[in-house]
Chain A
Amino acid sequence: MIISNLSKSYTAENSTIEVLNNFNLTVPTKTITALVGPSGCGKTTLLRLVGELEKPDSGTIKKSSEEQGRISYLFQEPRLLPWFSVLTNVELVLRPFYAKNERINKAMSFIEMVELADYARLKPDQLSGGMRQRVAIARAFAYPAQMMLLDEPFQSLDSSLRWLLVRSFVKLWEQEKRTTLYVTHDVQEALLMADQVVKLSHRPMDILALHKIEEEKSNRSLSDPQLIALQTLFYG
């Protein structure tokens, strides 16, 4: 995906907020690109533009043939339907694509992957925050999308749970790779998950640094000297 000269501004109370001004970024197909930057710098706006939830003022987003079509979204909140079970929440996004039995089996297989098979009949409010976010991960992966957009999905969770979910996410992603844009303000999370990490500036958002990480995601450790060096660079 090639993002070229993207500009977006908002008007609020007689003042114009320039979020993006001729922003450029290349996202390699079937990789995870992490966008790390301060709060309010425009990361979510970029995600919404890529997800076609909003239109840019100018500029283009050119997707490859493998990236065109449906998009899975993982939000800061799980956004589950509170009235229905875990299974229904995952199965619902498969309705246009599969017959009943097939979609239930498919949904169950993703629920098993996030280790919630025993909770499939429970409703979201009967689960903990971490479990709910795992359901949202299962739903995002179950949806037959060409791209995934993640907007700080583990932000509200405690650190041990966060690492567990990061591992769950990577495990699922490795099974079916899709171009993924991942917004976070947590450098460590980005270094464990991404193929390329982009450090962003304040508004209007610009790239301060871009680093590719070749190491297999499953083998990465935060005590690795390369990752320690990158942490220092990004926190600096």
Chain B
Amino acid sequence: MSRSTWTTKLTVVISLIILLAIWQVGSYLLDARVILPTVGDTLASLLNLLKFKPLSVNILATVNRSLQSFLIIFTIGTVLGLAAGYSKTFHAFLKPILVVCKATPVMAVILLAFIWFTSNTVPLFSAFLMGFPIMFVQVEQGVQQISSQLDEMSQLYSFSKPTRLKFLIIPSLMPSIITGAKASLSMVWKVVIAAEVLTVPRYGVGSRMQLAQVSLETAEVLAWTLIAIILTALGDLLFSLIIVLPKKFNQRFKI
């Protein structure tokens, strides 16, 4: 490992320690555990949560909702982004819908969705409305950035439609698809948990946060928040692995 990598890691650890120290000092100064519990109280609450079975059920429910939303966003965002990238009419048709999606506050979407759907569907619907524009815009812009020179070359050398898609369009769009997917996945976690907080489905990280907050269990709210942060980080890590592993595999076996 290079020296600069070590320095970066050390800086991250120092930054984390400073953050925890500020939290700890703040909690001593406030001396009100209902407002800000100590780091120790929060960790104890986290350990307590880990001991009980509902933890995995709640986490699985949130993960399930987030992944379902993400897959829907990924598929629809990519297909419609491609269509809008190639058709000005379709772009114009979707423009008002996108403006509304982007401008509407998350909470307004969740509250309205709660009027229309059940508490299990609200997180999916809200996450879709918030994450879809990100994926869509990335793919649409990606289409516009496909090299016109390569496009012309593919026409001159009579590439068939499947060949063009596989060898020119998909590889050209890959950076946009990855950026869009990564950004929409981060958004999905937050919106799903926010929707769970407001609609309180039977299981879910957000539901547990809401129940803990109602009973003034601030340490437990923070413990669930930590779990949410870990979930988001794991999601990002898994995403990075999905992208990096095939490349490493190809290099190793020279495919």
Docked-complex contact A75 and B163, CB < 8 angstroms: no
Residues of A in contact with B (beta carbons under 8 Å apart): 51, 53, 70-73, 75, 77, 79, 81, 83-84, 88, 92-93, 95-96, 121, 139, 143
Across the A-B interface, how many residue pairs have beta carbons closer than 8 Å?
37
CA distance A195 to B75 in the complex (A): 55
Docked-complex contact A51 and B156, CB < 8 angstroms: yes
- Residue pairs across A and B with Cβ atoms less than 8 A apart, 30 shown, are A51-B156, A53-B152, A53-B156, A70-B158, A72-B157, A73-B153, A73-B157, A75-B149, A75-B153, A77-B149, A79-B150, A79-B152, A79-B153, A81-B150, A81-B167, A81-B168, A83-B167, A84-B167, A84-B171, A88-B167, A92-B159, A92-B163, A93-B157, A95-B160, A95-B163, A96-B158, A96-B160, A121-B254, A139-B157, A143-B157
| Min distance, Cβ A188 to any Cβ of chain B, angstroms | 27
Q: Nearest A residue to B155 by beta-carbon distance?
A: A53
The size of the chain B interface, using a CB distance under 8 A, is 14
Chain B 133-151, CB-CB to A under 8 Å as 1, else 0, gives: 0000000000000000110
| Min distance, Cβ A123 to any Cβ of chain B, angstroms | 11
CA distance A93 to B163 in the complex (A): 10
Q: Nearest B residue to A77 by beta-carbon distance?
A: B149
| Min distance, Cβ B177 to any Cβ of chain A, angstroms | 14
Q: Nearest A residue to B150 by beta-carbon distance?
A: A79
Q: Nearest A residue to B174 by beta-carbon distance?
A: A83
Docked-complex contact B159 and A71, CB < 8 angstroms: no
Residues of B within 8 A of A143 (CB): 157
Q: Nearest A residue to B151 by beta-carbon distance?
A: A79
CA distance A70 to B171 in the complex (A): 26
Q: Nearest B residue to A121 by beta-carbon distance?
A: B254
12 additional A-B pairs beyond A73-B153, A84-B171, A121-B254, beta carbons within 8 Å, are A53-B156, A70-B158, A72-B157, A73-B156, A79-B149, A79-B150, A79-B153, A81-B150, A81-B167, A81-B168, A83-B167, A95-B160
